[in-house]
Amino acid sequence: MVRNKKDNDDTTRPIISKINPKSPISEQYRTIRTNIEFAMVDNGLKSILMTSAEVGAGKSTLVANLAILFAEQGKRVLLIDADLRKPTVHRTFNLDNQSGLANVLVRQVELGSAIQETDFSKNLFILSSGSIPNNPSELLGSRAMADVLTEVRRVFDLIIVDTPPLLGVTDAQILSRAIDGVVLVAHANQTKKEELARAKRLLEQVQANILGCVLSNYEARDSSYYYYYGEEN
């Protein structure tokens, strides 16, 4: 069973790919989606993890827009908020967060009852973070998390996982080992080259499959947009 969304939508955040699908930024999101899609098809990937080196890189905004765009293609998409420290997905989609991933991992609720529908697409479903735990890294690296990923792979065509930044906590690094591919997000005016290099090394240490990097807020022709480049061999 899938839970319904909250009735009150006053706090819903605007998502550009939905409210202005013909804008230049929306087109850039589609370009990113296409590049990720090619990487996934070529390698038979079904789950992707989105992370960044530091806070404020624009990762969660990118995740929300990509989830909608993939769902609009007809894919049955599950967006998991695995940021068990400072979750944002439930606010972006105006959903209840009383129970979610953390509650599923400690066996407080069943997985099916924690997954929520959205108004953005009939094919888009959300597993919010749930209650903030004292041990997020341990939960994300647990057998229970592996079981969740195994189960959702049976039901959904694509799983997108939003995680905390790599520098400072080990959550994304730990979880990346269980995900098919990882996309790094870097802020053009904020992320330092050495920070991005360090984040990449952290993923390489656990043999994560890095699909590429998205550069956000790059100024070109007086318009901010996202640019995707694949992992170079």
Residue (of 50, 73, 53, 54) closest to 62 by Cα position: 50
What are 183's two structure tokens? 């996309």
Residue (of 224, 230, 30, 4) closest to 113 by Cα position: 4
CATH code of 16-230, in short, is 3.40.50.300
Are 88 and 100 in contact, with CB atoms under 8 Å apart? no
Q: Where are the domains of the chain?
A: 16-230
pLDDT at 106: 96
CA distance 71 to 25: 18
Are 177 and 44 in contact, with CB atoms under 8 Å apart? no
CA distances from 222 to 32, 37, 94, 127 (A): 20, 28, 31, 36
Query: pTM for this one?
Result: 0.86
Q: How confident is the model at residue 138 (pLDDT cuts 50, 70, 90)?
A: very high
Give all strands of the β-sheet with 116-117 in edge-to-edge order.
Answer: 116-117, 124-127, 77-81, 158-162, 47-52, 181-187, 210-220, 223-230
CA distances from 225 to 23, 56, 86, 136, 149 (A): 10, 15, 25, 32, 31
Sign, CA torsion 177/179/184/185: negative
Write the pLDDT tens digit of every residue in 25-34: 777 888 888 8
**CB atoms closer than 10 angstroms to residue 228:** 21
Task: Compare 139 and 10 and report the one with higher pLDDT.
Answer: 139
Write the pLDDT tens digit of every residue in 34-70: 888 887 776 778 999 999 988 877 888 889 999 999 9
Q: How confident is the model at residue 231 (pLDDT cuts 50, 70, 90)?
A: very low
Residue (of 135, 136, 182, 130) closest to 159 by Cα position: 182
